[in-house]
Amino acid sequence: MVRETGQDGGGVARWWALGWISLTQLMMVVDGTVMNIAVPSAQHDLSLSDVQRQWVITVYVLAFGSMLLLGGRVSDLIGRRRALLIGLVGFTLASIGGGLAVSAEMLIAARAVQGVFGALVTPSALALLSVTFPEGSDRVRAFGVFGTIMGAGSGIGVLLGGAVTDSWGWRWALLINVPIALTAGVGLVLSLTADARGRGRIDIIGGTLSAVGLTALTLGLTTAESSGWDAPLTIGLLVGGLAVLVGFVIRQRTAAHPLMPLSLFAERLRSAAFTAMLAWGVAILPAFLFLSVYLQQIAGLSPLLTGLSFLPYTAAILVTVRAVRLALRLVAPRVFLAVGLALIAAGLLVVTRLEPDASYVTHVLPIFVLLGVGTGCVQPAANSAATHRAGPASGVAGAVASTSQQVGSSLGLALLGTIAATTTAASASSAPCVDASYATLDGFHAAALTGAVILTVAAFGVFLLAGRSTPDRSPSNRRDPT
pLDDT per position as a tens digit, 2-14: 554 443 445 677 7
The answer on 390 and 271 residing in a single domain is yes
Which pLDDT belongs to residue 482?
A: 34
What does the pLDDT look like over 71-108, one tens digit per residue?
877 877 788 788 889 999 999 999 999 999 999 999 99
**Average pLDDT score over residue span 14-27:** 82
Which pLDDT belongs to residue 363?
A: 92
Instruction: Tell me, yes or no, whether 478 lies in a domain.
Output: no
What does the pLDDT look like over 174-232, one tens digit per residue?
998 899 899 988 988 888 776 666 566 778 888 889 889 988 888 888 888 778 888 99
Task: Answer whether residue 454 shows pLDDT above 60.
Answer: yes
Look over the chain and give the mean of its residue pLDDT values, rounded to a whole number: 83
Q: Which of 222, 256, 290 is the last residue of a domain?
A: 256
Pick the range with the lowest mean pLDDT from 186-195, 277-286, 290-299: 186-195
Which pLDDT belongs to residue 462?
A: 95
Which pLDDT belongs to residue 371?
A: 94
What does the pLDDT look like over 346-388, one tens digit per residue?
999 999 999 998 899 999 999 999 999 999 899 888 877 776 6
The answer on 218 and 147 residing in a single domain is no
The answer on 280 and 250 residing in a single domain is no
Query: The domain that contains 350 carries what CATH number?
Result: 1.20.1250.20
Instruction: Tell me, yes or no, whether 25 lies in a domain.
Output: yes
The answer on 287 and 251 residing in a single domain is no
Which pLDDT belongs to residue 392?
A: 57
Binning pLDDT at 50, 70 and 90, where does residue 328 land?
confident
Q: Nearest-5° angle of CA 114, CA 119, CA 122?
A: 115
Binning pLDDT at 50, 70 and 90, where does residue 393 land?
low
The answer on 80 and 176 residing in a single domain is yes
pTM for this structure?
0.80
| Dist CA 369 CA 386 (whole Å) | 25
SS (H, E, C) the chain: CECCCHHHCCHHHHHHHHHHHHHHHHHHHHHHHHHHHHHHHHHHHHCCCHHHHHHHHHHHHHHHHHHHHHHHHHHHHHCHHHHHHHHHHHHHHHHHHHHCCCCHHHHHHHHHHHHHHHHHHHHHHHHHHHHHCCCHHHHHHHHHHHHHHHHCHHHHHHHHHHHHHHHHCCCHHHHCHHHHHHHHHHHHHHHECCCCCCCCCCCHHHHHHHHHHHHHHHHHHHHHHHHCCCCHHHHHHHHHHHHHHHHHHHHHHHCCCCCCCHHHHHCHHHHHHHHHHHHHHHHHHHHHHHHHHHHHHHCCCCHHHHHHHCHHHHHHHHHHHHHHHHHCCCCCHHHHHHHHHHHHHHHHHHHCCCCCCCCHHHHHHHHHHHHHHHHHHHHHHHHHHHCCCCHHHHHHHHHHHHHHHHHHHHHHHHHHHHHHHHHHHHHHHHCCCCCHHHHHHHHHHHHHHHHHHHHHHHHHHHHHHHCCCCCCCCHHHCCCCC
The answer on 209 and 298 residing in a single domain is no
CA dihedral 27, 33, 35, 37 (to 10 degrees): -130
Total number of domains constituting the chain: 3
Instruction: Tell me, yes or no, whether 297 lies in a domain.
Output: yes
The answer on 208 and 97 residing in a single domain is no
What does the pLDDT look like over 111-137, one tens digit per residue?
999 989 988 888 777 777 767 776 666
Which pLDDT belongs to residue 394?
A: 59
Domain span at residue 445 reads 266-472
More confident residue, 465 or 54: 465
More confident residue, 402 or 315: 315
Which pLDDT belongs to residue 389?
A: 65
The answer on 211 and 159 residing in a single domain is no
Binning pLDDT at 50, 70 and 90, where does residue 152 land?
low
Binning pLDDT at 50, 70 and 90, where does residue 478 land?
very low
Which pLDDT belongs to residue 86?
A: 92
Instruction: Tell me, yes or no, whether 129 lies in a domain.
Output: yes
The answer on 218 and 278 residing in a single domain is no
The answer on 37 and 166 residing in a single domain is yes
The answer on 426 and 327 residing in a single domain is yes
Task: Answer whether residue 413 shows pLDDT above 90.
Answer: no
**Average pLDDT score over residue span 412-420:** 90
Which pLDDT belongs to residue 4?
A: 47
Instruction: Tell me, yes or no, whether 477 lies in a domain.
Output: no
Which pLDDT belongs to residue 245?
A: 92
| Dist CA 242 CA 249 (whole Å) | 11
Residue type at 152 in one-letter notation: A
Task: Answer whether residue 417 shows pLDDT above 50.
Answer: yes
Which pLDDT belongs to residue 477?
A: 47
Which pLDDT belongs to residue 329?
A: 79
The answer on 194 and 124 residing in a single domain is yes
More confident residue, 279 or 53: 279
Instruction: Tell me, yes or no, whether 482 lies in a domain.
Output: no
Task: Answer whether residue 57 shows pLDDT above 50.
Answer: yes
Which pLDDT belongs to residue 199?
A: 65
Instruction: Tell me, yes or no, whether 347 lies in a domain.
Output: yes
Instruction: Tell me, yes or no, whether 480 lies in a domain.
Output: no
